[in-house]
Structure 1
Amino acid sequence: MTILRECGCYADFTFPSLNSSQPVMINQIYYAIDDPNKAKSYNRGIPAKVGQKSPEDSLMIIQGILGLRYDKKKKYKIAIDYSDLDYNDPPTPLRVDYWVKNSIGIIGRPNWRLIKLHTHGGREIRFDSNFGESADIAFQHLEQHYNDGKKYVLHYVTAREMYNIVKAAEGFLSWDGNNTRDFLIKPYLYRM
């Protein structure tokens, strides 16, 4: 983690991961402090919360959702959801509902909820789960049921913007669109 931080990394978005690499802290946004003499220093940390400054020499860990959910296609009707958009477990309206119900928050800002999803590369076999009909149906469900402008206001954000949103919440800022998304780390300059 020290190397990541020293090379300009502002947060780690790796988790959830299965098996031994998964930290014991799940479904949280937290700060981990590296201990070069200890394996898996990211295993535990200090949860992000409103009014808290990030601990010195720490790295923010932003996790996706990890948990059990109902899946009628599985033998025992239970699936492990680890926020992956994959052909083995494509996004569906039921998964979207699960993600919203189990979305990750920032302590002290319960109305700001985050859903971090991931995929593994752009292989053709994953096209449907990321860009095809399955993705279209799932994201239409998300937009139709969780973007009413009152109870829910949906925002699609990049990793940089998600980090900024967490930092803005910690700093007591109220939501202010792009100012919140660009709170600390400004958009990257692209040149052609």
Structure 2
Amino acid sequence: MLKVKSGDVDRMGLLFERYHRPLFGFLYHMLGGRVEASEDLVQNVFYRMLKYRHTYTGAGEFRTWMYHLARNVLADYVKKNRHAAQHTDVADLAEHLGGGPRADEGLEHAQDVAQLHQALARLSPESREVLVLSRFQELKYGEIARVLNTTEGAVKVRVHRALNELKTTYLRIEN
């Protein structure tokens, strides 16, 4: 990113190759499984990286800065689309499943994933965010603390509470 900041914008392609999937995963889970919106927001994040490259100092990890931008893009999207209903599209998940002898297992897995997305969507945005960053994006608590501008201890508490809330919500949906 420091090379992009200094004017070598061709390096942006390398950053895209490395980080578009984790970024998509973060946005996908935060948006309750909406594929098209997540893809659009990934593009917006990379656009903002390029536009605001002068703000990257290199003092911290690039991922921390990237997730700050992603959170801002997500917040802007949510403000604009408050009326849009959050949903999990099982058809999107089933599209990735192949047929064959294990098709029933694939369908069952898709239903489990759909229930997980429903449970995640019912959590508060703050709870969902710490779970997505810690469990799906596999960021360390220290990294999450820097992204959220809080302490590592506070992140641990939030993750623990969010996991309990997710478990309770998931079990309610399952029954």
Q: Per residue, is there more helix in 1 or in 2?
A: 2
TM-score by length of 1: 0.26
TM-score by length of 2: 0.28
Q: Per residue, is there more strand in 1 or in 2?
A: 1
The structure, 1 or 2, with the larger RCO (C-alpha pairs under 8 Å, 6+ apart) is 2
